[in-house]
Structure 1
Amino acid sequence: MWLKELPSILWAYKTTTKTPIGETPFRLAYGSEAIISVEIRLTSYGVENHDESRNDEAMRLQLNLVDEVRAIAEQRLAWYKDLMAKHYNSKFRNRDFQVRDLVLRR
């Protein structure tokens, strides 16, 4: 049962923007956004103005920029990790103990 749903679940995971990096795993891997099958049936600017002759050139341009997209995603991830560390450390209280201090053990 779940085996039939696995490709759809993986596709949804790969094409959903991740909060820390602001990009989809699909774009980081292939350098371009994926068009969801539902979007193909609907009229949209990208589908309506698709030109096959310019598509190859646009794909090469996006592949040239994929390293820049990955670098920006890496910077966002570092910023997000720093933000999470600051949030975690704000709840931490430093306490100094001396020998013979009474401490509650759980």
Structure 2
Amino acid sequence: MVYGSEAVLLVEIGQSSGRVESFPDDNDQSWAMELDLVEEKRERALIRMEAYRGQVMKSYNKRVWIRDFQIGDLIMKKVNPAGDVGKLEARWEGPFKITRKVSSRAFYLEDAQGRSLKRPWNVFHLKKYYA
């Protein structure tokens, strides 16, 4: 595969043959022109990549649920995050109060009697409680 230019064997280059002598000289010119256009092609590829990234980000952000909790908010937590809940059992329990923020995605909780839960809970297992 020589990508648009004519193939010549190395053995033919060292010896004078009819094929080598009739080899077109415009090959060097076409390579020079290709090198001049490389930057333009690279810029077009970057523009296409950025447009694609924008489309992917827009598609992803449609499905993201922003859960922004603050200290003192009342929330519900999943009964069992592993999913071993029966068909007629409640899947959420609460309300719980957020007492401490470990990160933007994890919180320590306190129940209605003021007892703190032992471990922090990820925002994925929490939802806002509306009274």
> Going by fraction, where is helix more abundant, 1 or 2?
1
* TM-score relative to the length of structure 1: 0.47
Of structures 1 and 2, the larger Rg is shown by 2
TM-score (norm 2): 0.39
If asked which structure has higher relative contact order (CA below 8 Å, sep 6+), I would say 1
**Bigger strand share:** 2
